[in-house]
């Protein structure tokens, strides 16, 4: 609904758009022995309002957007090796029927454009964004998960026998709240003037205030059960210990606290039209960034980058070869700085907490174990700190940041050629080169069985050399390498003669030793039983989400392969050398429209990992030794028909089919050679404490030398464990008047 409030001056617009979704998913629980289904209901609301004032010199807007979402029911991923297989039982998934979440978002903004003269104007923007996520319907029952199978064990009663990943209730990190607030103000000035051509000069200042306040925890902690296994101390020579039935690890893990800080920015840019054929853009952006502390009682600021640290120049140009707009050359180069993610502040500056209690398993009443009741003997004694009964994996570490640390940045360059073929078709050739300059990562060392980290720029400053954990001599830390080179050819036809279409081919290489903040080197598929916790998301992610705390430089053993090669360069895990895309649509005279889109891409590289006693998966054969996943192809179809009802009224019928040919392509194969993927299993891990990494090692012999010996090999190695979604369809009826 919209219209004038005051004629020719003040206008309004308001809308509300609710959406209700009900999904049902079929499962074969208990690895195929039980059939059942789970449901999820979603209510999503979008309410928008806007008021506008306009006169000859001023235009001003005020707007509000409210988008709450409520979800009841959870649909876990399939985690078995058969169609629709779920390793846990139907009874264990009963809590998923009530699990859900509420996500409340609201966005308030205002803007004003003021014409100062015939050649200048100023713009002002102000806004407030609120986002809060909270879990609902999650039972306050402490989860336990079998990390070893109890099937066939005489010491375990039949009622407790089950395979790996058997659970009593789904493991859930309960978000009581995860609130993010952003307030911003921007002012921009635009000036047009002449001088050796015409110029449009722009400049501006902005400030953004960010606040994050999470309250997350597992109810009563969560428990990993190791049936008939002995706990192996992380300290060499400390031996092993166990209880009557094995041992368990009780994890107290969560995120708590509040942090806020400012990011300020300045920019200036000139769009210079030199003549009728040449246009040049030159500009520079600068920022001042503060990364906050979640423990201001210890230190108010975690990290700060000043104006001199984030100067980002950019330049670009386009040249009309013929002077009629039909053929042009173009190119650009720029430096881009990334904002430091609050994941770093959470993990290092007091937000994350994680304590692990290792205890002997001397009781069969597993449901009685929680943070308030920890039966059995302490098996952690003699490790990092004999005064503690737990392993402390997260402690505030303000002093562990290089005082001369640099912000993350990359350079991006492209240049190309575009030519018009006839009146409605163009083809373009573009070369793209992106190169990472600097990243921020945590570099680790093992001290008394615990991982100790230091945040720095790998290969620079205090991180020039890597501390060693075994017999390896100190060595230069490899610098991060991430390079993307691509040649893209495109052909596009705009709509005419009742059809439009296009196609493209990309030849590329993604190369280096660093997958980036979204870490594709750390994939935990559902079959591992775990995933990467993700802010404002109830279910874990398969890949580790964006942050500055990946495994990339955590310890020396991760930087070498088993053949004594330092710096594991190669094609990165998301590299697809060949990608073909095509799309098109045809409009029939009788009102029916048919459209399609096609994607075809090379498979992605797969690499063998072996898990060590430091809970580190290492690339023993470098990158890509397992070959690639199959070629990925997918075709989508759109069919629509408009039926006229008289006057301006009509009804539209629309069918949208995704993955038309039901190509459930393998996207990943299980690549952990020994057990310990997802949840560590020290009894199957290799120990590199007595190895000189520069001389290499026999990882097969080390696996067989582990406590589990031949049983340490994971039988899932090499099996497909992640697939494309099958065919999905949506049918839509729309009435327009």
Tens digit of pLDDT for each residue in 706-726?
Answer: 999 999 999 999 999 899 988
Q: Measuring CA to CA, which residue among 165, 169, 173 is closest to residue 143?
A: 169
| Tokens read off for 680 | 């560590």
Q: Residue 547 pLDDT > 80, yes or no?
A: no
Q: What is the mean pLDDT of residues 381-403?
A: 72
Mean pLDDT, residues 465-473: 87
pLDDT digits (tens, 9 = 90+) for 134-163: 999 988 899 999 999 999 999 999 999 999
Q: Does some domain include residue 73?
A: yes
Please tell me the predicted confidence (pLDDT) of residue 451. Answer: 53
Read off the pLDDT band of 403 (50, 70, 90): confident
Pairwise CA distance, residues 241 & 388, whole Å: 18
- Phi/psi at 462 (nearest 5 deg)? -70, -10
Q: Indicate whether 21 pLDDT > 90.
A: yes
Q: Which of the four pLDDT bands, split at 50, 70 and 90, describes residue 462? A: confident
Q: How far apart are CA 682 and CA 236, in angstroms?
A: 12
Cα–Cα dist 166/156, whole Å: 14
The two three-digit tokens of residue 172, written as one number: 């859930």
Nearest to 99, CA basis, from 179, 40, 148, 59: 40
The residue with tokens 């005279």 is 589
> pLDDT tens for residues 575-587?
999 999 999 999 9
Q: Residue 178 in contact with residue 134, Cβ under 8 Å?
A: yes
In the DSSP assignment, the letter for residue 394 is E
Distance in angstroms (rounded) separating the CA atoms of residues 656 and 384: 58
- Decide if 138 is inside a domain: yes
Pairing of strands 543-544, 519-523: antiparallel
- In terms of Cα–Cα distance, which of 244, 247, 243 is closest to 226? 247
Name the residue range of residue 283's domain: 58-736
Mean pLDDT of the chain: 92
- Tell me the C-alpha distance between 219 and 500, whole Å: 55
- Specify if 26 maps to a domain: no
Per-residue pLDDT tens over the stretch 650-664? 999 999 999 999 999
Confidence of residue 452 (pLDDT cuts 50, 70, 90): low
Per-residue pLDDT, 185: 98
- Helix or strand holding residue 317 (H, E): strand 312-320
Question: How is residue 242 written in tokens?
Answer: 């166990």
9 domain-assigned: no
Using alpha carbons, select from 195, 95, 199, 204 the residue that is nearest to residue 142: 95
**What is the CA angle 192-193-199, rounded to 5?**
75
Q: Is the pLDDT of residue 465 over 60?
A: yes
Q: What is the pLDDT of residues 91-148, one digit of tens each?
A: 889 889 999 999 999 999 999 999 999 999 999 999 999 999 999 998 889 999 999 9
- pLDDT for the residue 383: 53
**Better-scored residue on pLDDT, 640 or 139:** 640
Tell me which residue has tokens 């705009």: 494
Let me know if residue 555 belongs to a domain: yes
Give the mean model confidence (pLDDT) for residues 548-569. 92
Q: For the residues 251-268, what does the mean pLDDT come to?
A: 94
What is the CB neighbour count within 10 angstroms for residue 279? 19
Q: Please name which of 304, 310, 309, 466 lies closest in space to residue 401, comparing C-alpha atoms.
A: 304
User: What is the three-class DSSP state of 220?
Assistant: coil
Are 267 and 203 spatial neighbours (Cβ–Cβ below 8 Å)?
yes
SS3 591: coil
**Count: domains in the chain:** 1
Which residue matches tokens 């209730």? Answer: 169
Q: Where are the alpha helices (DSSP H) in 2-151?
A: 29-32
Percentage of the chain modeled with pLDDT above 90: 73
The answer to whether the beta carbons of residues 81 and 527 sit under 8 Å apart is yes
CATH for 70: 2.40.170
- Work out whether strand 198-217 and strand 174-194 pair parallel, antiparallel, or are unpaired: antiparallel
Mean pLDDT along residues 366-384: 86
Q: Is residue 4 part of a domain?
A: no
Is the per-residue pLDDT at 687 higher than 90?
yes
| CA gap 204, 121 in Å, rounded | 12
Phi, then psi, of 262 in degrees rounded to 5: -115, 150
Report the sign of the C-alpha dihedral through residues 683, 688, 690, 696, in that order. positive
Given pLDDT bands bounded at 50, 70 and 90, which one contains residue 211?
Answer: very high
Answer yes or no: is pLDDT of 297 > 90: no
**What pLDDT was estimated at residue 549?**
78
How confident is the model at residue 391, as a pLDDT?
83
Strand partners, 281: 271, 316
Look at residue 432 in the predicted model and tell me its pLDDT.
98
Whole-angstrom distance, CA of residue 336 vs CA of residue 505:
27
Give the whole-angstrom CA distance, residue 653 versus residue 637. Answer: 14
Query: How many Cα atoms occupy the beta-carbon half-sphere of 667 within 13 Å?
Result: 17
Confidence (pLDDT) at 621: 97
What's the pLDDT band for 545 if we cut at 50, 70, 90?
confident
Residue 236 is predicted with a pLDDT of 55
Interval 497-524: pLDDT, tens: 999 999 999 999 999 999 988 889 999 9
- Answer yes or no: is pLDDT of 543 > 80: yes
State the Cα–Cα distance between residues 714 and 712, nearest whole angstrom: 6
Task: Give the residue among 48, 65, 63 at the shortest CA–CA distance from 112.
Answer: 63
pLDDT at residue 357 above 70? yes
In a domain, 38, yes or no: no
Residue 41 burial (CB count, 10 A): 13
pLDDT at residue 450 tops 60: no
The residue with tokens 């001290």 is: 447
pLDDT of amino acid 69: 96
Confidence (pTM): 0.84
Percentage of the chain with pLDDT > 70?
97
338-356: pLDDT as tens digits? 998 888 888 788 888 889 9
Q: Which sign does the torsion angle of CA 685, 688, 694, 698 carry?
A: negative
Residue 554 belongs to some domain of the structure: yes
Q: Provide the pLDDT for residue 234.
A: 59
């Amino acid at each position: 609904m919209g219209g004038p409030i005051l004629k020719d001056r003040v206008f309004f617009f308001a809308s509300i758009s609710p959406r209700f979704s009900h999904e049902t998913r079929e499962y074969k629980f208990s690895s195929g022995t039980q059939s059942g289904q789970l449901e999820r209901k979603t209510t999503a609301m979008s309410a928008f309002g806007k008021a506008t004032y306009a006169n000859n010199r001023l235009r001003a807007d005020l707007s509000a957007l409210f988008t709450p979402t409520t979800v009841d029911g959870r649909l876990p991923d399939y985690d078995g090796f058969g169609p629709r297989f779920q390793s846990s039982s139907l009874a264990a998934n009963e809590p998923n029927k009530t699990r859900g979440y509420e996500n409340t978002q609201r966005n308030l903004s205002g803007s004003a454009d003021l014409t100062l003269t015939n050649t200048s104007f100023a713009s002002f923007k102000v806004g407030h964004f609120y986002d809060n996520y909270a879990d609902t319907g999650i039972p306050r029952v402490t989860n336990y998960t079998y990390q070893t199978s109890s099937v066939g064990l005489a010491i375990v009663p039949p009622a407790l026998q089950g395979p790996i990943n058997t659970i009593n209730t789904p493991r859930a990190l309960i978000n009581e709240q995860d609130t993010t607030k952003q307030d911003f103000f921007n002012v921009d000035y635009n000036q047009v003037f002449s001088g050796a051509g015409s110029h449009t000069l722009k400049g501006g200042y902005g400030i953004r205030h960010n606040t994050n306040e999470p309250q997350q925890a597992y109810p009563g902690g969560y428990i990993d059960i190791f049936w008939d296994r002995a706990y192996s101390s992380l300290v060499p020579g400390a031996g092993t210990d166990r209880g009557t039935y094995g041992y368990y690890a009780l994890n107290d893990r969560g995120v708590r606290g509040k942090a806020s800080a400012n990011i300020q920015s300045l920019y200036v840019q000139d769009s210079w039209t030199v003549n009728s054929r040449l246009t040049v853009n030159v500009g520079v952006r600068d920022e001042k960034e503060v990364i906050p502390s979640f423990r201001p009682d210890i230190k108010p600021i975690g990290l700060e980058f000043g104006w001199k640290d984030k100067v980002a120049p950019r330049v670009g140009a386009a040249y009309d070869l013929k002077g009629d707009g039909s053929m042009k050359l173009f190119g650009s180069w720029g430096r881009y700085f990334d904002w430091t993610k609050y994941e770093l502040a959470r993990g290092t500056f007091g937000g994350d907490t994680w304590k692990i209690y290792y205890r002997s398993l001397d009781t069969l009443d597993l449901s009685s174990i929680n943070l308030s009741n920890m039966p059995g003997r302490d098996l952690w004694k003699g490790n990092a700190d004999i005064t503690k009964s737990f392993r402390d994996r997260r402690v505030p570490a303000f002093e562990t940041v290089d005082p001369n640390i640099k912000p993350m940045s990359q350079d991006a360059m492209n240049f190309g050629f575009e030519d018009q073929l006839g009146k409605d078709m163009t083809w373009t050739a573009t070369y793209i080169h992106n190169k990472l300059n600097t990243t921020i990562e945590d570099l680790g060392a093992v001290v008394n069985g615990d991982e100790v980290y230091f945040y720095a720029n790998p290969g620079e400053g205090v991180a020039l050399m890597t501390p060693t954990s075994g017999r390896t001599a100190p060595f230069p830390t490899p610098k991060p390498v991430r390079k993307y080179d691509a040649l893209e050819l495109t052909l596009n036809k705009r709509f005419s003669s009742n059809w439009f279409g296009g196609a493209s081919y990309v030849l590329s290489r993604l190369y280096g030793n660093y997958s980036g903040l979204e870490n594709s080197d750390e994939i935990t598929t559902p079959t591992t039983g775990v995933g990467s916790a993700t802010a404002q998301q109830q279910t874990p992610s398969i890949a580790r989400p964006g942050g500055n705390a990946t495994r990339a430089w955590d310890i020396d053993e991760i930087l070498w392969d088993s053949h004594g090669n330092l710096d594991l360069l190669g094609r990165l895990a998301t590299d697809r050398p060949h990608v073909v895309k095509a799309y098109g649509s045809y409009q029939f005279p009788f009102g029916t429209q048919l459209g399609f889109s096609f994607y075809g891409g090379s498979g992605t590289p797969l690499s063998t990992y072996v898990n060590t006693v430091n809970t580190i998966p290492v690339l023993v054969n470098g990158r890509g030794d397992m070959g690639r996943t199959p070629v990925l192809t997918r075709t989508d179809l759109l069919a629509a028909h408009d039926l006229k009802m008289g006057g301006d009224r009509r009804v539209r019928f629309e069918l949208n089919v995704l993955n038309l040919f039901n190509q459930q392509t393998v996207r990943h194969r299980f690549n952990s050679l020994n057990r310990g993927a997802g949840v560590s299993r020290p009894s199957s891990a290799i120990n590199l404490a007595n190895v000189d990494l520069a001389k290499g090692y026999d990882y097969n012999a080390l696996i067989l030398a582990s406590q589990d010996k031949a049983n340490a090999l994971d039988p899932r190695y090499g099996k497909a464990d992640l697939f494309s979604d099958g065919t999905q369809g949506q049918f839509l009826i729309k009435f327009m008047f």
